[in-house]
């Protein structure tokens, strides 16, 4: 996956995330493709291929800074949220520092969503 493709995917995922963060629910189609194993495995693999000097310091950074520092595949995974967690936890348990950083980004994103919509899910602000 080229850098430009990752940026384009991130833009699309941000639009989908905005639907939920503005009180909506993703379509069934969006729900399916965003949680597909193929997409998630690709993004987790891409996240593991890159090395960021800040990865080891992610937990010490404030949430707003983490979001700005991490880009690429980890940022895409954070926009997807919950479906990415099992694969990321598996990768983190094998020593993938970027997976651990992406998990932190997801926890930040999840916290922001739940603060705004306490009964929400990753794909719906209403939890339906």
Residue whose tokens read 């794909």: 123
Lowest mean pLDDT among 6-20, 45-59, 69-83, 96-110: 45-59
First CA to last CA distance, the chain:
33
Work out the mean pLDDT of the chain and round it to a whole number.
Answer: 85
Is 34 exposed, middle or buried (CB count within 10 Å of its CB: 0-12, 13-18, 19+)?
buried
Cβ atoms of 4 and 38 closer than 8 Å:
no
> Residue 33 has what pLDDT?
97
* DSSP-derived secondary structure for 8-65: HHHHHHHHHHHHHHTT-B--HHHHHHHT-HHHHHHHHHHHHH---TTGGGGGGS-HHH
Q: Which DSSP state fits 83?
A: G
For the stretch 12-24, pLDDT in tens is 999 999 999 999 9
């Amino acid at each position: 996956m080229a850098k430009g493709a990752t940026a384009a995917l991130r833009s699309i995922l941000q639009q989908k995330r905005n639907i939920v963060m503005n009180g909506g629910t993703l379509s069934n189609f969006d729900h399916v493709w965003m949680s597909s194993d193929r997409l998630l495995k690709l993004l987790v693999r891409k996240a593991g291929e890159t090395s960021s000097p800040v990865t080891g310091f992610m937990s010490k950074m404030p949430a707003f800074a983490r979001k700005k520092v991490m880009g690429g595949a980890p940022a895409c995974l954070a926009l997807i949220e919950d479906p990415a967690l099992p694969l990321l936890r598996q990768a983190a348990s094998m020593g993938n520092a970027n997976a651990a950083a992406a998990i932190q980004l997801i926890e930040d994103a999840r916290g922001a969503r739940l603060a705004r919509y306490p009964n929400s899910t990753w794909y719906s602000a209403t939890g339906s």
